[in-house]
Amino acid sequence: PIYVANPERYKTMKYKRCGRSGVQLSRLSLGLWQNFGAVDSVANARAMLRKAFDLGINHFDLANNYGPNFGSAEITYGTIHKQDFAPYRDELFIASKAGYDMWPGPFGIGGSRKYLVSSCDQSLKRTGLEYFDVFYHHCMDPETPIEETMQALDYIVRSGRALYVGISNYQPAQTKKAVDILKSLGTPLLIHQPRYNMFDRWIEDGLTDVLKTEGVGSIVFSPLAQGVLTNKYLNGIPADSRAARPELIYLNNKDITPEKLAKVQQLNAIAESRGQSLAQMAIAWTLHNEAVTTCLIGASRPSQIEDSVAALNNLEFSADDIAKIDAIIR
Ligand code: NDP
């Protein structure tokens, strides 16, 4: 069946300008880190991408190593893009990244120009796209001069492989350095991608100040702490949850401690008093930070995307709510 996008998609979603740039991103973005790999159902992946776009999400986030196995999320996306989204290419903002471990040997990891440019070419091939809207360095590489990495990003833009550049997981001081170097090269830093959620507030300690001063946008990942900031783990680990899947090694039952669950229980009560699910409150909480452009959600089924987007129905936090939440997560 040929896909026709929902004509109402721009009416309900909210959009925000990404730093001091011309780009406006939907307040929620969809990440393809998990549930879009070779081990997952393409039909479900397709249903999730359609659901997201139909709800006004205009930004999809990939990386070279999303899967499992590495590269397979880009292949899945490429297949679906060709079938469903090719006519909508100019309405979409699509990201990929390189930085973490990707292929064997010293050229398949790190921050060298050699790695970034060849990995970007591989990602373009896997997705079948002509260019990425934004290409990221995925994590700092202390052993490569930051100048080389930024020159590689600048080159990726100048050679037509991407329109904008981003960095992910960079600490505040390195972020400032990256901003300065990229400015001098004439390719300003569009966006930073850090983790941010009620259990991990590190960006409030210096990073958001740099981003606001320098006019750089931000896209925050794991807003639900991979699902822990929802009500799903309150009565054990459901069989269809991320923590129950042994191949998804980044979240397991050791991360879901009784101390954490006690906090989740209290946060859940606040969410209920706001007329929201905890997932919705957790997303709204990240968007409440003025340095945050868009909240990068993951999903394992289309209904979660619908549920998460409904967080936009209540983004306001009273001083009382904020104080209560702070007391729980401090
Ligand atoms: P989240 O914290 O949003 O976790 C997503 C998971 O939570 C889902 O897979 C699902 O898990 C569960 N979930 C989602 N929505 C709901 C809902 N409404 N109600 C209940 N449960 C829900 O984000 P991720 O950790 O998945 O990260 C999001 C994206 O961020 C990634 O896809 C990637 O693009 C990016 N990222 C970037 C990193 C970087 O270094 N730059 C690192 C990590 C992620 P379940 O399977 O249990 O249903």
Q: Is the CB of 241 under 6 A from ligand 1?
A: yes
Residue pLDDT, tens place only, 58-102: 999 999 999 999 999 999 999 999 999 999 999 999 999 999 999
In the predicted structure, residue 252 carries a pLDDT above the cut 80: no
Q: How far apart are CA 43 and CA 77, in angstroms?
A: 11
pTM (predicted TM-score): 0.97
Backbone angles phi, psi at 60, to 5 degrees: -115, 135
3-state secondary structure of 244: helix
CA atoms within 13 A on the CB side of 283: 27
Domains and CATH numbers, the chain: 9-227+289-300 (3.20.20.100)
Give mean pLDDT, residues 36-50. 97
Q: Is the CB of 268 under 6 A from ligand 1?
A: no
Of 131-145, 173-187, 229-243, which range is least confident?
229-243
Q: How far apart are CA 214 and CA 147, in angstroms?
A: 18
Give mean pLDDT, residues 273-280. 97
Q: Is the CB of 98 under 6 A from ligand 1?
A: no
Q: Which residue lies with its CA nearest to atom 17 of ligand 1? A: 304
Cα angle, residue 293 at apex, residues 292 and 296 outer, rounded to 5° = 90
Closest CA to 93 of 16, 170, 187: 16
pLDDT at 169: 98
Share of the chain above pLDDT 70, in %: 99
CA–chain centroid gap for 62, Å, is: 8
Q: Is the CB of 227 under 6 A from ligand 1?
A: yes
CA–chain centroid gap for 35, Å, is: 14
8 token code pair: 């109402």
Cα angle, residue 66 at apex, residues 211 and 34 outer, rounded to 5° = 95
pLDDT at 155: 99
User: Between 252 and 70, where is the model more confident?
Assistant: 70
Distance from Cα 169 to the centre of ligand 1, integer Å:
16
Band of the pLDDT at 1, cuts 50, 70, 90? low
Q: Is the CB of 33 under 6 A from ligand 1?
A: yes
Side chain identity, residue 259: E
Residues 269, 317 contacting (CB under 8 angstroms): no
267 token code pair: 């946060």
Residue pLDDT, tens place only, 112-169: 999 999 999 999 999 999 999 999 999 999 999 999 999 999 999 999 999 999 999 9
Q: Which residue lies with its CA nearest to atom 9 of ligand 1? A: 299
Residue pLDDT, tens place only, 7-30: 999 999 999 999 999 999 999 999
Closest CA to 102 of 141, 160, 142: 141
Q: Is the CB of 230 under 6 A from ligand 1?
A: yes
Q: Which residue lies with its CA nearest to atom 5 of ligand 1? A: 298
Q: How far apart are CA 169 and CA 173, in angstroms?
A: 12
